[in-house]
């Protein structure tokens, strides 16, 4: 039976339900109860798969679960490896399933406590094993496992999402375009009645400032729509939400507002090169457009 060794030194056996081969971990009413406010009531679950591997699944907890620093996608099973460092909320634990380590623990009469330095003694060799070394060495491997499970959204799905977003933003676009056309029409009327070059120059200067101001407002609307939605818990615009997509960073995490801003303004670069930046999403390995590469983002299926 595998064990979880907590940061303070306590060790907990992982009691799997004989029928379901599952063990729930949480703040209360679970097979493993850890009384910490950072854990949800039903925080995570360890399962023994049919091929004999132990897997960890976050149950949609508030503060999340991590393997070697890499956040877990909720409701997704991740294979646990010897020495993995697991974090539930802010509670750290080391997973071990090595027979000599588990037996060393079980054969001691200390039912809950081992050495505080995470060292587990093997009875056969009396050598000390530090699972944190394995944890450090496997950090990149875990991130690779998590990233490899992402399903990239293809070009046409992203195109359809853009159409939906275009429909959402059309009223704002129509209003700002109408204002600019009215400014231009008013300027032309005034210019036809101008009696001097000074008046003409003032009319042109004033109308250009008005048009520029409206264009900035239009830019801000587009920027905030994409940046706020993609950096929020929705992780995507209305179009992406409807079609089951979201924007994440290269490790599958929610992106920050700053990264979402970079991605939004990167779209202008994708546009000015004859939309080639957008078309790149159809051919790149991870279905990334140019603005995704600039910001270090991925568009994936939920």
Residues 181-238: tens digit of each pLDDT? 999 999 999 988 888 888 889 999 999 999 999 999 999 999 999 999 999 999 999 9
Give the confidence band of 57 by pLDDT, cuts at 50, 70, 90.
Answer: very high
Q: Is 264 left (phi over 0), alpha (psi -120 to 50) or beta?
A: alpha
Whole-number Cα distances in Å, 129 to 8, 120, 222: 17, 6, 55
Q: Which residue has the higher pLDDT, 51 or 272?
A: 272
Nearest to 119 by CA among 92, 153, 94: 94
Backbone φ, ψ for residue 190 (5° rounding): -70, -35
Residue 115 in this model has a pLDDT that exceeds 70 = no
Q: Where in the chain is the domain with CATH 2.60.200.20?
A: 3-148
Residue 147: predicted pLDDT:
55
pTM confidence score: 0.56
Q: What is the mean pLDDT of residues 140-151?
A: 59
Pick the CATH number of 3-148 from 2.60.200.20, 3.30.70.2500, 2.60.120.10, 3.30.460.80: 2.60.200.20
Q: Which residue has the higher pLDDT, 195 or 128?
A: 195
Residue 25 near residue 45, CB atoms below 8 Å: yes
Residue 244 near residue 164, CB atoms below 8 Å: no
Residue 270 near residue 278, CB atoms below 8 Å: yes
Residue 60 near residue 74, CB atoms below 8 Å: yes
Nearest to 111 by CA among 201, 235, 12, 211: 12
């Amino acid at each position: 039976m595998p064990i979880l060794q907590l940061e303070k030194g306590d060790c907990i056996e992982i009691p799997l339900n004989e029928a379901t081969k599952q063990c729930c971990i949480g703040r209360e009413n679970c097979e493993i109860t850890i009384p910490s406010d950072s854990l949800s009531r039903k925080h995570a679950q360890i399962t023994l798969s049919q091929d004999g591997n132990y897997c960890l699944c976050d149950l949609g907890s508030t503060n999340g679960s991590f393997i070697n620093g890499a956040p877990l996608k909720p409701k997704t099973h991740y294979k646990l490896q010897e020495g993995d460092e697991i974090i539930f909320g802010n509670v750290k634990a080391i997973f071990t399933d090595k027979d000599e380590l588990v037996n060393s623990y079980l054969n001691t009469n200390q039912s809950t406590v081992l050495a505080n330095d995470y060292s587990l003694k093997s009875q056969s060799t009396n050598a000390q094993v530090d699972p944190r070394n394995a944890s450090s060495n496997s950090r990149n491997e875990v991130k690779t496992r998590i990233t490899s499970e992402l399903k990239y959204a293809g070009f046409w799905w992203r195109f359809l999402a853009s159409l939906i977003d275009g429909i959402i933003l059309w009223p704002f676009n129509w209003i700002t375009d109408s204002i600019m056309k009215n400014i231009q029409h008013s300027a032309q009327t005034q210019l036809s009645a101008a009696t001097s070059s000074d008046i003409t120059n003032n009319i042109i200067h004033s109308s250009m400032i008005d048009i520029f101001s409206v264009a900035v407002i239009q830019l801000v609307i587009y920027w905030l729509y994409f940046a706020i939605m993609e950096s929020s818990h929705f992780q995507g615009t209305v179009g992406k939400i409807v079609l089951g997509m979201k924007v994440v960073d290269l490790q599958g995490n929610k992106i920050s507002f700053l990264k979402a801003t970079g991605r939004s303004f990167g779209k202008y670069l994708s546009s000015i090169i004859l939309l080639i930046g957008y078309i790149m999403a159809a051919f790149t390995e991870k279905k990334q457009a140019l603005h995704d590469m600039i910001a270090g983002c991925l568009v994936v299926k939920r």
